[in-house]
Chains A and B, each alone.
Chain A
Amino acid sequence: MTHTATPAAATPPASPAAPPKTRTAERSLARRALARPEVGALVAAIGVYLFFFVAAPTFRQADSFATVLYQASTMGIMALAVSLLMIGGEFDLSAGVAVTSSALTASMFSFQLTTNVWVGVIVALLVSLTVGLINGLLLIKTGLPSFLVSLASFLMLQGANLAITKLLTDNVATDSITDMDGFDQAKSVFASEVDIFGVDVKITVLWWLIFAAIATWVLLRTKFGNWIFAAGGSKESARAVGVPVNLTKIALFMTVGFAAWFVGMHLLFEYNTVQAGEGVGNEFYYIIAAVIGGCLLTGGYGSAIGAVLGAFIFGMVNQGIVYANWNPDWFKFFVGVMLLLATLVNLWVRRQAARR
């Protein structure tokens, strides 16, 4: 893999004959733009878009684009949180089932205790944040790699999802809460549709972009953002300069918890009932989206915009293959090829940028 560059991009060795000042300023500005982690993902996204634009006539319609954006948004909200965590140098394999856990919690809490739906929503938020907190604490207290810690919590959550649902409802899906107080309100927040120029766009798309803006601001403009990069770049050096590494990592796991809660709420209010077995396997897609977006598996490098583009590419590939009416037997194969190509394009662009 490439060597890890911190966002404050290390300048390449100065050439012996230093060029005049103005040109350096210009060049370094261009270089700074090109060295952003998301540039490669942007090129890849445009490439994938053009590819399906040519291959699938239906893909060109506005309503199809809304479908693609929707698919990208539910994944993208999770991918954002996961990318922050990865920049901070950790993994969370429990992110996929955590979404289902959150939706199940809200649904069953409201139904079993016959409360206003919002009560269930708040309880689910607390549960999701607690799961993130426990993940973070386990990581710090045990010293095990997050890959193992979160693999354990993934399996525990998967089991708990089924067992608790079955225990409370005697079924493997939750009961419908559509007729309860607060449902319509919550639906308008988490799962309504917005008419944009005559096309119905799911509200998750807007939330996704809002969260992306917040994440970008945190990463690039706040002290906490610096802590994330530092914690993921080198734990020891970060500690030496006074970065609260443990606090940062716990906060990042809790951010994943928050995102899981949000997406879980969307699934609950969009689809009314929740199946206990869903969400397994999605954790890898979140990680893939973050990596396509320029996150390194080793931590310390990446961007929130990159994760947005990564999820967008994934959404385009997922729906584009169907729009193109390719043989569904090959679906996963095509997805794999597309993701590989997108990641390679990203890598190539970044190498070019570094070489300039």
Chain B
Amino acid sequence: MDLRINRHRRAGLAALATAAVLLAAGCSSQGGKKAQEADSGIAAGKADTPRLKIAMITHAAPGDTFWDTVRKGAKTAAAKDNVDLVYSSNPNGADQANLIQNAINQKVDGIAVTLAKPDAMKGAIAKAKKAGIPVVAFNAGLEQWKDMGLLEYFGQDESIAGQALGKHLNEIGAKHNICVIQEQGHVALEARCAGVKKTFKGKTDTLYVNGTDMPSVKSTIAAKLKQDSSIDYVVTLGAPFALTAVQSAKDAGGKAKVATFDLNKDLVSAVQSGDVQFAVDQQPYLQGYLSIDSLWLFKNNGNFSGGGEKPVLTGPAFVTKENVDTIATFAKNGTR
């Protein structure tokens, strides 16, 4: 008994000592949390307007870098405008409509919603209007926001963004690209690939991958590249997939180049290093920020951008090796 306790105690002490030594000796001279804390995000003062409760309801799947950036923008605006921000999301159309209903029940002062599935949102949005809650759309729904009688829209047109990317591919002399869709049956993603196909003079193939499983994304793209050596460009629809596609291209012999929609921190570095050729940015931070800020303006001064007629466009902005350095500083904070 005694012996055993002693042995345990000795083992515990030894473990503690080892941990202490490792911590002391194992400091990294660069990167890590310390370096991150040195860069600060954006913050501003705080308005003295009455407290508002605004619901932001998106079609995001949880844990997506793009939507995290949208949320950061919304948070910044909420902190500044004395707004209590209620964020919720569900990729399923019916469930997203339920979340709007939920916000109406909560008697929020405003709703910012993404219209990736516009038809599914119609009923719930009509109810919000009946309850006298102002609604703005962002990110998806450029075609529909006006017909639904919403105040304003912040975002880009997915089809136009796709067409812009297709044109850019023509300019740099690409011949054959694959457009990688990470979620089957997602309208906005399909619209991007359709846009690319529309303007691209060469051949565009669509490739479906399972976006929730990165190893399978990597091997599916690599297999496609090996199978068809004429492919010279991989177009992905999200930053994490672009970074994976870079690895796939290396696995498959490294002939194909990668371009993508949307940015994140790591992707900016990849553009700087030349792993990814260019990205089409729709400025998610701006979308989140403007949606909240515009509702604050509307509640406090009756203003709305675009006069209820025209959308407020946040993209497409091309990020290439030439202009990436200016963005890199902000991307480090995870706000671009």
Contact = CB atoms under 8 A, between A and B. Distances in A.
Interface of A: 58, 61, 63-64, 67, 70-71, 74, 158, 161-162, 165, 171-173, 176, 267, 270-273, 275-278, 319, 322-323, 325, 328-329, 331-332
Interface residues on B, range: 20 to 34
A176 B98 contact: no
A291 to B, nearest CB: 21
Contacts of B170: none
Contacts of B98: 67, 70-71, 319
Contacts of B97: 271
Interface in B178-198: 183-187, 190
A64 B99 CA distance: 11
B94 A271 contact: yes
A165 B105 contact: no
B119 A272 contact: yes
Given A173-B185, A277-B185, A323-B105, A271 B86 contact: no
B186 A58 contact: no
A191 to B, nearest CB: 9
B94 A270 contact: yes
Contacts of B94: 74, 267, 270-271, 278
Contact of A276 (B101, B119, B184): B184
A165 B119 contact: no
A263 to B, nearest CB: 10
Nearest to A266: B94
B105 A275 contact: no
B117 A322 contact: no
B129 interface: no
A39 B94 CA distance: 31
A58 B104 CA distance: 10
5 closest cross-chain pairs (CB), A and B: A277-B185, A276-B185, A271-B120, A272-B119, A273-B119
Interface in B245-266: none
Interface string B115-136: 0010110110000000000000
Contact of B117 (A71, A171, A271, A331): A271
Given A173-B185, A328-B88, A332-B62, A272 B105 contact: no
Contacts of B184: 158, 162, 172, 276-277
Contacts of B29: none
B87 interface: yes
Contacts of A273: 117, 119-120
29 contacts: A58-B107, A61-B105, A63-B104, A67-B98, A67-B101, A67-B102, A67-B105, A171-B187, A172-B184, A172-B185, A172-B190, A173-B185, A173-B187, A271-B93, A271-B94, A271-B119, A271-B122, A272-B119, A275-B117, A275-B185, A275-B187, A276-B185, A277-B184, A277-B186, A278-B185, A323-B105, A325-B106, A328-B88, A331-B88
A328 B99 CA distance: 12
Contacts of B107: 58
Interface in B65-101: 86-89, 92-95, 97-99, 101
Contact of A323 (B102, B183, B186, B190): B102
B87 A328 contact: yes
Given A74-B94, A275-B117, A323-B105, A161 B99 contact: no
B208 to A, nearest CB: 8
A321 to B, nearest CB: 9
Contact of B106 (A58, A328, A329): A58
B122 A319 contact: no
B62 A270 contact: no
Q: Which interface residue of A162, A172, A332 has the most chain B CB atoms within 10 A?
A: A172
Contacts of B106: 58, 323, 325
Contacts of B104: 63
A71 B93 CA distance: 13
A341 B273 CA distance: 50
B186 A319 contact: no
A176 B86 CA distance: 31
A50 to B, nearest CB: 19
A270 B95 CA distance: 12
